[in-house]
Structure 1
Amino acid sequence: MNPVFEIAGVAGGYDEVDILKGVDLHVLPGEIVTIAGTNGAGKSTIIKAAMGLLPHVRGAVRFEQRDITHARVQARLDAGIGYVPQVANVFASLSVHDNLLVMQGVRDAKRRAESMYEMFPALARHRKRRAGALSGGERQQLAFARALMRAPRMMLLDEPTAALSPALVDEIFAYVVKLPAAGTAVLMVEQRARQSLAISQRGYIIDQGSVAMQGDAQALLNDPAAADLFIGRH
């Protein structure tokens, strides 16, 4: 089976300083894959490189066997990649409904928005509310809905549970689990590595800009080295 998404030998960073030092990873169709590691290891930088947001990149990024290494962000979105950044992931001054309708390149946007309300009932109750007035969990749901408006075949998630309460963390992971059945593979960076790996098929542990460990998600959860050095036992 060919990967739906692949990063090959990716190195780079900011101001000519390499944060990533030759990262290789891939995501197969229907997979959820977690990127875990310590703070500052380069996890979110991988997502930025994948999305075309890293200023200096060497190596290759491929989506559905097509080289997108030098494609602009909008071209990646148009190709079928969804992206939920850790911060600034909604337009705070717009209503929930306008946040959905403002997405470019969505066919039959109003019908698609209604399908998002079915998936995220809390948003349906607050469709006229300004996004900046939503709770943290509701804003994250809106960020997911915005990305899903374009029916992406690949989703890149950067710390989707950051700053959320434990109850809301479980809620967000429950949404992530549903994505592959809807035809969307997932590459996710998460600090809550144990919970994230528990819903993933495979994982990559990053240390100092390189892949230190990789493999079956359950095997990583059971590996003492991963638990002690990168994931944490609790």
Structure 2
Amino acid sequence: MSLLRIAGLSGGYGDVDIISGIDMVVAEREIVTIAGTNGAGKSTLIKAAMGLLPRLSGEMNFNGIDLMRLAIEDRIRVGISYVPQVRNVFGTLTVLENLQVVEHVTGKPQRIREMFELFPALAGRRGTYAENLSGGERQQLAFARALMSSPRLILLDEPSAALSPALTDQVFAEVRKLPQAGVAVLMVEQRARQALAFSDRGYILDSGRIVLTDTGANLLANEEMGDVYIGRGHGAGSPGTHAQI
């Protein structure tokens, strides 16, 4: 069953479209990765799904609800969460305080206990300021904050950005757990080859348009497309060099 359905989506920040004619589907408890070259519009597409793009046309439907009519806070209420690439936790608050900020909005205090059970490494760091966490711990906290609202879909923008290979493996291990918790994932990831290895499906973007979609395994097996859009080795580009587009 389709959870998120996007049809003919186009938009940008000015008069020129950054994404154009996007058709995309994310099913229940599915991991979907968006890959492509630098500047292809990957992060813009994620922001559009969250309602962060100022100019949009087309259709976005989430669980039978017309997203085009909803503000960001309403998208959260209907079951969508977003983890941006940067500024995804409050560094001057402790781990516990970061979760309590969300709890004050959701009114679900029991979720804090559930997050510490889901991310046991955070439980032992609950009194630590977020700015003193490791990169992997910060991403776990960002995931926990996003999951506090009990979403059905989580949007991830470059979750491995600026992380070492070891920390990237830790973060990806957490991403793989999300469908088990009943959460679908739509993810932009610079280390596309690694991400597609555990993704149900993937979409390849080029100049703001989808040029190919298939299962993660089939995209990895497509050597011609892989060399151009996915890259060799562990990632689609060097960490820290990708465009914020």
Instruction: For 1:176 and 1:39, locate their aligned partners in 2 and report how far apart those are by CA, in whole Å.
Output: 23
Instruction: For 1:21 and 1:208, locate their aligned partners in 2 and report how far apart those are by CA, in whole Å.
Output: 9
Letter in 1 for 2:84: P
Q: After the TM superposition, which residues 140-155 of structure 1 pair with which residues of structure 2 at under 5 Å, given as runs?
A: 140-155=139-154
Instruction: For 2:30 and 2:54, locate their aligned partners in 1 and report how far apart those are by CA, in whole Å.
Output: 28
C-alpha deviation, 1:61, in angstroms:
1.2
Counterpart in 1 of 2:214?
A: 215
- In the superposition, the TM-score normalised over structure 2's length comes to 0.92
Instruction: For 1:96 and 1:115, locate their aligned partners in 2 and report how far apart those are by CA, in whole Å.
Output: 14
Percent identical residues: 56
Letter in 1 for 2:106: V
For residues 116-169 of structure 1, give each alpha carbon's deviation from its aligned partner in whole angstroms, at most 9, with x where no partner exists.
Answer: 112212211211111112121111110000001111111111101111111111
For residues 56-79 of structure 1, give each alpha carbon's deviation from its aligned partner in whole angstroms, at most 9, with x where no partner exists.
Answer: 111111110211113111100111
Counterpart in 2 of 1:195?
A: 194
Report whether the alignment pairs 1:106 with 2:100: no
Structure 1 counterpart SS, 2:68: coil
Counterpart in 1 of 2:224?
A: 225
Number of aligned pairs?
232
Letter in 1 for 2:6: I
Counterpart in 2 of 1:11?
A: 10
In structure 1, runs of 5+ residues without a counterpart are none
Question: Does the CA-based 8 Å contact 1:78-1:105 persist in structure 2?
Answer: no
Structure 2 counterpart SS, 1:204: strand
CA RMSD of aligned residues (A): 1.1
In structure 2, runs of 5+ residues without a counterpart are 234-245
Structure 2 counterpart SS, 1:173: helix
Once superposed, which parts of structure 1, at least 4 consecutive aligned residues long, lie more than 2 Å away? 104-108
Letter in 2 for 1:92: G
- In the superposition, the TM-score normalised over structure 1's length comes to 0.96
C-alpha deviation, 1:211, in angstroms:
0.2
Letter in 2 for 1:100: L
Question: Does the CA-based 8 Å contact 1:10-1:60 persist in structure 2?
Answer: yes
Counterpart in 2 of 1:133?
A: 132
C-alpha deviation, 1:105, in angstroms:
3.8
Counterpart in 1 of 2:178?
A: 179
